Each structure stands twice: as structure tokens, then as C-alpha cells.
A and B are shown apart, each in its own frame.
Chain A
Amino acid sequence: MRFVFKRSYDDDIKLFKHRPQAFYYLALLILMLALPLLLDDFFLGEVTYVLIFAIAGMGLMLLTGHTGQVSLGHAAFLALGAYLNAIMLSKGIPFVITLPLAGILTGIIGMIIALPVLRLHGIYLAIATLAISVLADDIIVMAEPFTGGVTGLVAPPIDIFGLDIDRYGTPILFYFLVLFVTLFVLMIYRNIMRSPLGRAFVAMRDSEISAQALGVNITKTKATAFAISCAITGLAGALLGHFAGAFNNETFNIVLSIQLLLMIVIGGLGSIHGAFFGAMVVGFLPQFIAISRDFATDNFGFNSLSMPGIETGVFALILVLFILFEPMGIYGRWVKIRTYFELFPFYRKNMFKRQKSYLKTERMK
């Protein structure tokens, strides 16, 4: 068991609780920086994909996991980010401006859309945001002069101060670009969560009435949460556009929205770790299935190549298992295992009660 001796208020403000924890994360960072030396281009691409999904996951986690507002419309904001970035790039604006601008604009547009929608609660909010996702699909097709309609757009090449970054040409540089954005978003996310605004988010999730009675402006705070969430998702969208190379309305369909939400549920609602764990499941699952399929074909001789929809099936199965047995997601399971060893032998089975993290009904109104 570890006892952390706190000597000043700053011990509760700082990012890492104790030295060993800081050391683990530093080690992880070094591993991530050294990854291009360890992996070939294909797997580095897969890791890049996971990181992009982790950024999008962080965007949705802030809104759903920490503020308690369900959104089934986040594919629309991924799309917005991707299209804004690609359109601005094709106008000759440099990437160092288009990427942050795509994020900021997506945040602003997201907030404008959110203002009427956020008056809704729980399942009604889910339906309204689902409508955003459906609408986005149609709008992309209709706004053909800008978006290229069903033909789609090709993301123009990235050029940062003379450095050509391309997913296929220079995968290592693209990986570092994505890693940088991930770390940047992570830093902002952590900072917000340890400041008054982050506490207001969590307060609103757990009891809106009580948050209001303590001076949290519900409408404004929800809109802020939506704006930050959309901005982060927009950044992920812009990167996803470059990762995909070419994209159209089909790239950002409703399934992607649902996949994002399921991702953070599997990862663990209400924790930043959850966004990363969820992204790993979503990102590596297709590869895992492909590898095990090859393995099965080689060793048992049956040909499973002609099994359509197996990915969706396995994904759904994992989700059902998680909701039944581990509603707190992968991160929740990890916390339980860690607590077991930290408290050994004093761990009790009911130390982690099941709790709702979102979709809480209002009791007073």
C-alpha cells in the first residue's frame, strides 16, 4: 500500500499524484516517441489511427463521461472538422493555421447547434443529437460545391514549414503530428478537469439542481462543454481526413457516431483513460480479427474469409459483455485490479458500487 504525504495544497493540484505515477507516464511517453523504431509502417499507421480515435474519444468523453450529456451526433463534428480543414487547405491556407482553425470553428458551430438541443435531457438529447448526425450526412451531399457531394474530397498534402507530411509518404512524421495533437488535447483536458470549469461539468452530471444552487449557469456551462467537445472532435476529424486520404459523406455516417459512443462506454465512462482504452479496442479489433482469421485458416483449415459483418458482430458482443459484467469499462476493471493489489488483502467485493454516470433524470422539475 502506498501512502502519499501531502505537504501543500499544490499536492492536490498537480497533474501526477506521486513520483512513481509521473515515472510511469514518462516511460509511456518515451515508448510512444520510440515507437517508429519498433514498428513497421503498417502497424505505425494502425497506432496513428488509434490515436486519432483517442482524440475523438476524448472529445466525446468530456461531453458524455464528464458532463453527462449523451451525444449520438459526433460523427457530424468529425465530418465538419475534416471538411473545414480540407477546404481551407485547398484555398492555400497553411496547415498550421487550418488545423487549429478547423477545431475552433467546429467548436463554435457545435455550440450554436447545441444551444437549442441542450435543453433536452437523457434519451431525448440522444435522439436530437442522432438527428444531427443524419442531417449532416444529407447536408454534405447537398452542399456539393464545397464538399464534393458523394464524390467527396481528397485531403490536400500537409506542409509544415517546408516539411512534407503524408500518411503514406512519411508515416513517421504523420505519426508524430498526431501524437503531438493528442498530447496537446490531453493537456487541455487535464487542465480543464482540475480547474473550476471541470468541477462544474462533473457537478452538473451528478446533480443539476444542486449545481445550479451553487451558482453554476447550466445553459452556459453545457454549451461550453459542447463547444470544447466539438472543437476536440473537429481536430480529430481534420486528422482523420488526412489519414483516410479521400473522404465523402459515407466516411462519417451514423455508424461512426454510434461507434464513438460505444467506444467510450467500453473504455470506461468518466475517465480520460477510458477514451484511450476504447480507441485501442475499436482501432485494433479489425486487425485482431484479421490475424485470428488467418490463424484459424492456417491451423484448422476452414475458410472463414467469407464471413461478412464479423467485425460488427464481435464488437457488439464485446459491448454486451461489458455492459453486463463491467459497466465501468476497461478503465473501471483496471482500477479494481489496481485497488485489489494496493489494498491487499483488504479488498472488498462491493467497494465499487454500480453507478450511473449519465442519463440521470431530474428529480425536482
Chain B
Amino acid sequence: MSLLSLENVTLSFGGLIAVNNVSFHVGEGEVFSLVGPNGAGKSTVFNLISRFYDPQKGNIKVNGESILRLRPDQVPSLGIARTFQNIELFEQSTVLQNLLIGRQRHRKSNLLSEMFFAPSVRQEERRHRHVVEEVIDFLELQAYRDKYIAGLPYGIRKVVELARALATEPKLLLLDEPASGLSLEETNDMIYWIEDIKKQMNITVLMVEHDMNLVASVSDRVLALADGKELAIGTPSEVQSHPDVIKAYLGTGGEINV
């Protein structure tokens, strides 16, 4: 059974159809990429899955059950974590505090026990910290643990955002342009991490990315979108060589004679 499935999902903002009758399934353990030119509706698909937008038509299912009745803050409890295209970290907190907020969906303590910091709260804090430390080890963020986000370079912030998503212990990870703005070296690190996330942690990854090198090296399947419509779906090489995809990226050609 597929972990995530979109069925004929349509969303329009006024006259602009951002997502037009899009369907796809992401199987467990897969790395699935969405590609397409700017304005193709890739990030909108993410915001639909995060429940920030309501689709006008169609259905979104996780483990076979519709999520359309959930609030955005209930989505993480299904084991879905995401990153944002324009980094949305908590700037005035340290890296450690940011990652600990990722543990919010596992919060068991209540207001009263937290007011008096009962022993159960302390126990829970230690457990949260343990998970967070494992993520810090995995992404090699040890040196930045107590640094404030506001003072960190862009590349590190990108990694911290990935770390925060991993701290939620997700089953499905949504990565919105994980390599945008990263150097070649940092992009290569990202490739290794995504492979490890898939193989070691058994996390399914759904990713939006422009860097075709990264997409081709980590993805099992790729969906190409343009103007909210599906162009092609298949392995990275199939999609890259698909005539419609080439047309969408490079234009029709042949019509302009110089």
C-alpha cells in the first residue's frame, strides 16, 4: 500500500489553477521527486499535504486514510515532517532549541506538570534530548549545538531545518528544495544524507528540487509538473528524456527563425 497518495487533486487561486488534477502515489521506502519550472505548483502540492491549503477537488490520503479533515498541526502526528523553501527556523533560539521543538508531536506532559517541572517532565526532556543528539550526530551539527540561528550561515541553516524535521521521527519527509543555495560540496553532503535517510532510517522522502544532479542520484521516481499539470512520471532518466519535459523547460523550439 502506498504511504501517501494524491487523487485528482485540484487547487486554484482565483483564475490561476495552481494544481490541476494531479494524482500520484508515494510508496514506502521510496525517494520521490517533484520537478518542474517555476510556478509549476510543486510547493503548492507540499502545502496541500501540510494542510495549509484545502484542495477544491480530489483527495489526499496517508496510509489509505483521507487527511482532509485534519488541521495543519495534526499532520505531524501522522509522521509527516517537512522543510520550507525559504527557511522557517526559529531565529532567536539556538540550534538545540530548534531541534527540541521538533519533538513537539511527542509531548506527553501537561501544563500542571510543566509548571512545577515534575520528575516526569525531566525524564521526558532527557528522552527528547537523546533523540535530538542522535540527529545532531547524524548531520554533524555538534559544533553549532548552542549557536543562535540568527548568526548561522545559510548552508548550515538548511541542514538545521533538515535536522529539525528528522527530530520529529517522521515516516515521510517532505523536503522543499533541500539543495537550493547550497555549494557543490554541501549539495554532495545532502545527497549522502538523503541516501542515508532512506536506507538507514527507512524514511520515505518526497522532495521538490531543481538540481537535476541531486534528483537523478537519489530519486527512485520523478514526477514532472508544469502549470499545475502532470507532464511525466517515471525513473529520473525517463523523465529527463521525455519530450514534454524538454519542451516545458526549453520551449518548443523551431518556431523562431533567426
Contact = CB atoms under 8 A, between A and B. Distances in A.
Question: Interface residue tally of chain B, by bracket?
Answer: 35 or more
Given A214-B101, A215-B77, A364-B52, A191 B117 contact: yes
Interface stretch (B122-130, B197-205, B231-239): B122-130
Interface stretch (A7-15, A27-35, A42-50, A86-94): A7-15
Contact of B126 (A10, A188, A224, A270): A10
B219 interface: no
Interface stretch (A75-83, A204-212, A234-242, A295-303): A204-212
Given A202-B97, A209-B52, A196 B107 contact: yes
Chain B facing A: main interface SS: helix
Contacts of A306: none
A188 B114 CA distance: 8
B73 interface: yes
B89 interface: yes
A217 interface: yes
Contacts of B114: 191-192, 195-198
B76 A210 contact: no
A2 interface: no
A215 B73 contact: yes
Interface string B66-92: 000001111111000110101011111
Contacts of B168: 214-215
Contacts of B100: 196, 199
B34 to A, nearest CB: 18
Contacts of B86: 363
Contact of A194 (B47, B90, B117, B126): B117
B150 interface: yes
Contacts of A194: 117, 125
A9 B130 contact: yes
B121 interface: yes
A203 B115 CA distance: 18
A197 B90 contact: no
B116 A213 contact: no
Interface of A: 9-10, 12-13, 188, 191-192, 194-200, 202-203, 205-207, 209-218, 224, 228, 270, 351, 353, 355, 357, 363-365
Given A191-B116, A209-B52, A215-B75, 20 more contacts: A13-B122, A13-B125, A188-B115, A191-B115, A195-B114, A196-B109, A196-B128, A199-B100, A205-B92, A211-B101, A211-B104, A213-B50, A213-B81, A213-B84, A213-B88, A214-B101, A215-B105, A217-B71, A228-B111, A351-B151
